[in-house]
């Protein structure tokens, strides 16, 4: 695995995760630090006002906007798996991307990409038939899919002629097979550890799993979740490494 070129790497964050008066992220403080916002579309979190506000804020800071569709489970924040058919996956993603597109049109912002959220992300990484639903929507909109390299995310996207962008996560642990360990509740990440994972991945093309296994990692974007208490500090540490400071 060759080292990544810094000028090819973006920093992305999941945003717009709010409902009414309740918000779960640090979006305003993160916007100046990141390159790409993955905006919740109403199924796992987010509502029309949150989408409108988030798209406007992203435009103000020159941040690209992608759709972040999740499972229809507000109570579980999209982190509980569901039994779905490929057709159902396609429909729920298409519905959510359509909702976000209305606000993108309002603010004259193009759709940047599609990135599934939470347990949907994990389900699609394991199941090529389910992943095809997401890829069909991305192909119709002419945008890339963000996901985990070496999984069904990448295999199906590339097979169907859709651009794929691999992600590196700095605030989630990886198991020894290279899968993400998804927790029901967010936890704080040591900014220094996030910076070190970023540095190692850029310089060696590898990271360490939770049990110390060395994993090859291919990525074009680094994700920092917005709903952890110290996400701004984590993103700033990652940004400094990516920018070579």
Length of the chain: 245
Q: How far apart are CA 39 and CA 157, in angstroms?
A: 21
Domain positions in the chain are 10-244
**Residue 183's pLDDT is what?**
73
Q: How far apart are CA 217 and CA 178, in angstroms?
A: 9
DSSP string, 27-61: HHHHTTT-SEEEEE-SSSS--HHHHHHHHHHHHHH
| Domain 10-244, CATH homologous superfamily name and number | Glycoside hydrolase/deacetylase (3.20.20.370)
Place of tokens 């506000």: 53
Distance from chain centroid for Cα 25: 14
Question: SS3 of 78, please?
Answer: coil
**Residue 245's pLDDT is what?**
59
- Token pair recorded at residue 202: 């850029």
**Residue 95's pLDDT is what?**
98
CB 27 within 8 A of CB 15: yes
**CB-CB neighbours of 87 under 10 Å:** 9
**CB-CB neighbours of 25 under 10 Å:** 23
- Token pair recorded at residue 217: 């990692």
CB 108 within 8 A of CB 81: no
**Residue 24's pLDDT is what?**
79
**Residue 69's pLDDT is what?**
98
User: pLDDT 10s digit of each residue in the chain, 245 long?
Assistant: 445 545 689 999 999 998 887 887 889 999 999 999 999 999 999 999 999 999 999 999 999 999 999 999 998 988 899 999 999 999 999 999 999 999 999 999 999 999 999 999 999 999 999 999 999 999 999 999 999 999 999 999 999 999 999 999 999 999 988 888 877 676 789 999 999 999 999 999 999 999 999 999 999 999 999 988 899 999 999 999 999 95
User: Which H or E element spans position 232?
Assistant: helix 231-242
């Amino acid at each position: 695995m060759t080292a990544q070129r810094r000028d090819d790497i973006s920093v992305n964050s999941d945003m717009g995760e709010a409902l009414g008066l309740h918000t779960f992220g640090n979006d305003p403080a993160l916007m100046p630090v990141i390159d790409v916002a993955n905006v919740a579309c109403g199924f796992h979190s987010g509502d029309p006002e949150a989408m409108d506000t988030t798209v406007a804020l992203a435009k103000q800071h020159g941040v690209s906007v992608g759709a972040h569709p999740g499972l229809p489970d507000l109570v579980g924040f999209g982190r509980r798996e569901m039994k779905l058919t490929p057709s159902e996956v396609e429909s729920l993603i298409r519905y959510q991307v359509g909702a976000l597109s209305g606000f993108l049109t309002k603010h004259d912002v193009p759709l940047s990409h599609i990135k599934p959220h939470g347990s949907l992300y994990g389900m699609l990484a394991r199941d090529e038939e389910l992943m095809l639903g997401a890829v069909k929507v991305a192909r119709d909109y002419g945008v890339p899919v963000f996901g985990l390299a070496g999984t069904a995310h990448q295999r199906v996207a590339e097979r169907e002629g859709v651009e794929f962008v691999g992600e590196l996560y700095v605030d989630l642990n990886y198991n020894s097979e290279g899968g993400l360990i998804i927790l029901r509740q967010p936890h704080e990440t040591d900014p220094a550890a996030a910076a070190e994972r970023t540095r190692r991945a850029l310089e060696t093309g590898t990271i360490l799993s939770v049990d110390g296994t060395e994993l090859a990692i291919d990525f074009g974007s680094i994700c920092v979740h917005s709903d952890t208490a110290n996400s701004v500090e984590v993103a700033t540490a990652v940004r400094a490494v990516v920018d070579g400071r």
